[in-house]
Structure 1
Amino acid sequence: MALHQRAVLLFLLVILMLSGTALGPRSAHAATQAGTCQSFNVPVTLDNILSTPVTIYGELCNPAGGPSHTVQLLVPGGTYGHIYWNFPYQPQNYSYVQALTAAGYSTFNIDRIGTGRSSHPPIGLLTVSMGTNAYVVHQVVHALRNGNIGNHSFNRVLLVGHSLGSVTCWIEAGTYHDVDGVIITGLLHHLNATTLAGVVATLYPATLDQRFAYQLLNVNYAGYLTTEPGTRGKDFYYVPGTDPNVLQIDEATKETATPGEFASFAIPIADGISLQIDVPVLVAVGQKDALFCGLAATDCTSAATIQRAEAPFYSPKAQLQVAAIPEAGHDINLHKTAPLWLATARAWTSQHFAP
C-alpha cells in the first residue's frame, strides 16, 4: 500500500473513531488468578494536566513462597503486549516471567496503553507518546510501592523494558528517579536508519488486520498501527536463530502501537535522558539486532564493543553492564538462545538486588 493511501486511511479512521472510547474500570482489582499469577486493572491517568482516566492491565506473578521484596515491572515494545514477557510456547525457554519468578523475584507484566487489555483511548482526541508511557509507568511504580497491586508493598522496583518499552524506561528512570534499577533490552543509542525505515514501511492500520478485525471495540483501534502479516520475522528476528513456531505465535498475538509513540521514539536516543539515570543499568541486545547493530550503527560483535559505544550515554552511577546475546535479533526473549539471556538477567539481578 502506498504511503499516501495509508495516510488517507489513517485520517478517515481517526474521524470514524471519534465516537467511541474504551476506558477500563477505575478500581485496581484482581480479575483472574492462575497459580501464582493475578491479573489487575490499575487506574492511572494519561497526564497530570487533564488527568484523563485510563487503566493499565498487568499480571502480578509471585514466587512459590509469596511476594518478594523486589518486583520487576516489565514494559513491552511496540506492537507487543504482556505476552512478550511470558510467552506461552515452551515457557521454560522463552518466558522471562517464569525464569525470574523461579529465581525468587515477583514480576508485574503490563500491556502498554492502547495494547491488549489496557485502555484504548481515541487517537483522534489524545496523543499517546513516549512521555505519556513514562508518566503512566511512573504511576504504576508508585502503585507497586504503596501496596495498591496485590496488597503488598514492594521495597524495590526494577524497570525492565524492550525496544520502545526500553525508551519508556529511560524516560521514567531519568525523569522521576523512583526506581532501584533498570534493564534495557533491544535498544542502543545508534540506530540503523535504513533498517528502521524498513520496519516503519511494514506498519499499517490495525483495523485492516485480521488479528483485530473481530474485536468487540474495533472502532477504538482506529488510528492504531500494527505490522503487516508475514513481516515480523524480517522486522524483529534473526530468522536462522528462531523456531518457526515462535514466529507463528508472535503473529497470532501481535499488538499495536500509536503514531505518537513512533514519532517520539527517537527523541530520547539523542536528548541525553539516559545520562540522568542514577541507578544500576544492564543493557542487553542480540548480536544480530539489525535495528541497532552493524556498520551503520553499533558494533555488536561483543559486550566490550557495545560497552564502549554505550558508556558515554550513561553516568557512573549507572554502573553500566552490557550483555551481547549470540544468534539473536531484536526480540532477545524469543530466539533459541533466549535461555542464555534469561540466565544473564537472573545473574545481574541477583548481583545487585536480593529478592
Structure 2
Amino acid sequence: MRQSLAFLSILPLALTHPTKQSYQCIDFDVPLTFQAPSLEPAFPPFKSHYDSVAFLQSISSRTSSDGPSPYKGQKSIDVDVSIAAQFCFPPGRSPTTVQILSHGLGFDHKYWAFGGENSEYNYVKAATAAGFSTLSYDRLGTGGSTKGDAYTLSQETIEMEILKRLTDHVRDWDIPCLSHLHAPTKVTHVGHSFGSQITNDLVATYPNVSDGIVLTGYSTRKASVYFAIGSNYGLAKDILPKIYGNLSTGYLIWDQQFQAQYLFLHWPNFSPQILAEGEQNKWPFSVSEMLSTSVHPAGNFSKPAMIISGQYDGVFCEFNCTGVLPSASSTFSGATPFKTYVQPNTGHGINLHYNATGAYSVINDFFSSYVKN
C-alpha cells in the first residue's frame, strides 16, 4: 500500500531488492501544486453510455471538423495532485543519464516493465542493462496517482506541466529517498503515444528541459479517429464497476480485448497471453485527454530527437507508417540529430510485440550514441 503524504516532500514507499544481474527500484509519491490553463468543456458531463457513444459518433462524423469546438475557452485552475513514481537503476551504480518514461492511454507506468522484472517485454530491464536509470510514473487517473476531474484536470497541457515538474525534481536531484545516489548529469525523455504527445509539448514549451527525446508509437500527424472508433469506449465506472465505480463519468474504457488488439497489436506478432495480460491491467483514459491532443512545433529544441513507431501503427499512421515519420523533421527542425525508425511487424503498442527487444536496442543505442557521457 502506498503511503499518503501530509506535507510537501517526496518519501520512499517501497524498495525492490535486486537479484544478480537485475535492476533496483524505489517507489515514491511526488505531491505537486501549481496553476495551469484548463480547457472548459462546451458539452455536458456524460450521464450514461448512451451519452458517451453519441459523443463518439459526433467526433467521428465526416463533418465533425466543420462543427463547433468541444471546448468553449480556457481558464486557469489550481492543480493539487500526487504522482506515483518509480526510479530504477543498475545495482551498485549511481545514475549518469536518467530516462523519464511517460506512458500512453490505457496503461499505467507498468507499460515500461510489462511482464515483470525478467520479462523480455520489459523496457526498464533493457534500459538499465544499457547503463541508464529510469523514472517511470503513473499519469493522472492511472495507477497510484490522483484520479481527478476527467473533464477539466486530465488534459494534455496540465499533464505536460506535471512532466516538467517531475523533470525539475530530477534535474535538481530534489528526491530525498534517492539522496544516497549521485545526481545525474543528463536527463532524457521517452514517451509512448499520448506520453509522446506530452513529451513533444514539453520540449516545444521548454526547449532546454531535456538532453534528448525518443517518441514511440507516434507521428506528427494528428492522432487518428481510429483510436476513438477502435476503443468503442464506454463509461469505466459502468464497464468495470468493482474497480472503477468511484470514477467520474468522464473516464472511459473499452470493454473487450479484441478492441485492444485493434488499437495496439499486429497479429501474428504478439502472444495471446500478452493481449490477455494487457486487458487485465488496462486503465481508463479521460475524455479530455483524448480531445486535448495536438502537435506542437518544437523548432527551438536543439538536442537529439528520434521518433520510432510500429510498421502497422493504427493510431498515428492509419496502420501503415512506411514513409510517414520523416515528415516530422519540420516539427523538430532544430534537433541535432533528428532520426526516425519504423519497427517492422509491429503495431501501436511496441512493447507488447515479440520483437520488442529490437526496438529497445534502437532506442538505447540512440541515447548511447548521442546523449550518454
Same fold, TM-score > 0.5, yes or no: yes
Indicate yes or no: 2:226 matched with 1:195: yes
SS in 1 for 2:170: helix
1:290 paired residue number:
314
1:339 paired residue number:
357
Letter in 2 for 1:213: K
Q: Give percent identity, aligned residues only.
A: 26
Correspondent of 1:183 among 208, 214, 224? 214
Determine the C-alpha separation between the residues in 2 that align with 1:205 and 1:286: 29
Correspondent of 1:321 among 316, 336, 339? 339
1:45 CA displacement: 2.7
Q: Are the equivalent residues in 1 in contact too, given 2:214–2:307 (CA < 8 A)?
A: yes
Over 3 Å counting, the alpha-carbon distance change for 1:40 and 1:307 in structure 2 is: same
Q: Are the equivalent residues in 1 in contact too, given 2:82–2:146 (CA < 8 A)?
A: yes
2:12 paired residue number:
30
- Return 5+ residue gaps in structure 2 as ranges: 18-23, 37-75
Correspondent of 2:242 among 204, 207, 213? 213
CA shift digits 1:32-85 (9 cap, x unpaired): 010210101011136355543211111100112322121000000011110100
Q: Are the equivalent residues in 2 in contact too, given 1:291–1:330 (CA < 8 A)?
A: yes
Q: Are the equivalent residues in 1 in contact too, given 2:101–2:112 (CA < 8 A)?
A: yes
Correspondent of 1:167 among 178, 197, 200? 197
Determine the C-alpha separation between the residues in 2 that align with 1:46 and 1:238: 41
1:246 paired residue number:
274
Indicate yes or no: 2:268 matched with 1:280: no
Determine the C-alpha separation between the residues in 2 that align with 1:194 and 1:50: 29
1:7 paired residue number:
none
Q: Are the equivalent residues in 1 in contact too, given 2:299–2:335 (CA < 8 A)?
A: no
Over 3 Å counting, the alpha-carbon distance change for 1:306 and 1:318 in structure 2 is: farther
Q: Are the equivalent residues in 1 in contact too, given 2:89–2:133 (CA < 8 A)?
A: yes
After the TM superposition, which residues 3-14 of structure 1 pair with which residues of structure 2 at under 5 Å, given as runs? none
1:323 CA displacement: 1.3
Over 3 Å counting, the alpha-carbon distance change for 1:264 and 1:65 in structure 2 is: same
1:39 paired residue number:
27
SS in 2 for 1:284: strand
2:40 paired residue number:
none
Deviant stretches of 4+, over 3 Å: 48-51, 89-92, 191-194
Q: Are the equivalent residues in 2 in contact too, given 1:47–1:135 (CA < 8 A)?
A: no
Indicate yes or no: 2:154 matched with 1:128: yes
CA shift digits 1:281-306 (9 cap, x unpaired): 01100001122335xx8x633xxx34
1:197 CA displacement: 4.2
- Return 5+ residue gaps in structure 1 as ranges: 1-22
Determine the C-alpha separation between the residues in 2 that align with 1:24 and 1:112: 17
Over 3 Å counting, the alpha-carbon distance change for 1:225 and 1:98 in structure 2 is: same
Correspondent of 2:328 among 310, 314, 323? 310
Letter in 1 for 2:166: V
Q: How many residues align?
A: 318
- Normalising by structure 2, we get a TM-score of 0.79
CA shift digits 1:149-181 (9 cap, x unpaired): 322532211111000010000011110121111
Root-mean-square deviation over aligned CA pairs: 2.2
Over 3 Å counting, the alpha-carbon distance change for 1:128 and 1:194 in structure 2 is: closer
Over 3 Å counting, the alpha-carbon distance change for 1:223 and 1:307 in structure 2 is: closer
Over 3 Å counting, the alpha-carbon distance change for 1:85 and 1:232 in structure 2 is: same
Q: Are the equivalent residues in 2 in contact too, given 1:174–1:278 (CA < 8 A)?
A: no
Of residues 54-63 and 81-90 in structure 1, the stretch that sits farther from structure 2 once superposed is: 81-90
Q: Are the equivalent residues in 2 in contact too, given 1:46–1:132 (CA < 8 A)?
A: no
- Normalising by structure 1, we get a TM-score of 0.83
Correspondent of 1:263 among 291, 302, 305? 291
1:255 CA displacement: 1.0
